[in-house]
Amino acid sequence: MLHSRLMLPAPPQPELETAIGVVEGRLAALAEALRQRDMPEVDRRASELHRALADAVSHFGHAARKGQVAPALRTRLATAGAVVAAQRESLARATAALDRAIDVLLPRETPTALYDAAGIAARAPRRAGAVA
């Protein structure tokens, strides 16, 4: 890669290479734990990924302030961020589907809506002397 300002090769960035490599490894490990549906392992891998991402962002932020982040490394970090977002979205959808299934199988004893299907308030009757 050529440095855009001086047209010199970009300096080697082993700390950034290492940081993004750790993130990519943690993402792969989390994906495998999710695939195996091993929830204790998912929790452990998610925590490891969180720490790796924080470390990578710190390294990249420091290098960016100096203007020394190679475009290829920026692309790898952006790709890792996209994978994290996709995993988060997938988990959110799975959680929502599970919540809906639980609501069907185990309906709540108290209604959550303020109105029933006819539009009539589904509140408990007021006691005498209660302030409205």
List pLDDT tens digits, range 88-117. 898 888 888 888 888 888 877 765 556 666
DSSP string of 70-112, one letter each residue: -HHHHHHHHHHHHHHHHHHHHHHHHHHHHHHHHHHHS--SS--
- For residue 18, the one-letter residue type is T
Range of the domain at 61: 14-105
**Residues present in the chain in total:** 132
Question: Could you tell me if residue 120 is inside a domain?
Answer: no
Question: Could you tell me if residue 118 is inside a domain?
Answer: no
DSSP string of 26-45, one letter each residue: HHHHHHHHHHHT-HHHHHHH
Question: Could you tell me if residue 128 is inside a domain?
Answer: no
Question: Could you tell me if residue 96 is inside a domain?
Answer: yes
Count: domains in the chain:
1
Question: Could you tell me if residue 22 is inside a domain?
Answer: yes
User: Taking the CB of residue 127, how many other CB atoms lie within 10 A of it?
Assistant: 6
CA gap 47, 50 in Å, rounded: 5
User: Taking the CB of residue 87, how many other CB atoms lie within 10 A of it?
Assistant: 16
Question: Could you tell me if residue 2 is inside a domain?
Answer: no
Q: Can you read off the two tokens belonging to residue 37?
A: 């549906």
Question: Could you tell me if residue 43 is inside a domain?
Answer: yes
β-bridge partners, 115: 121
Question: Could you tell me if residue 33 is inside a domain?
Answer: yes
* Chain mean pLDDT for the chain: 81
Q: What is the mean pLDDT of residues 18-46?
A: 93
β-bridge partners, 9: 2
Question: What per-residue confidence (pLDDT) applies to 79?
Answer: 94
Rounded to two decimals, the pTM is 0.66
By CB atoms closer than 10 A (0-12, 13-18, 19+), residue 108 is exposed
CA gap 58, 22 in Å, rounded: 14
- 52: pLDDT strictly greater than 90: yes
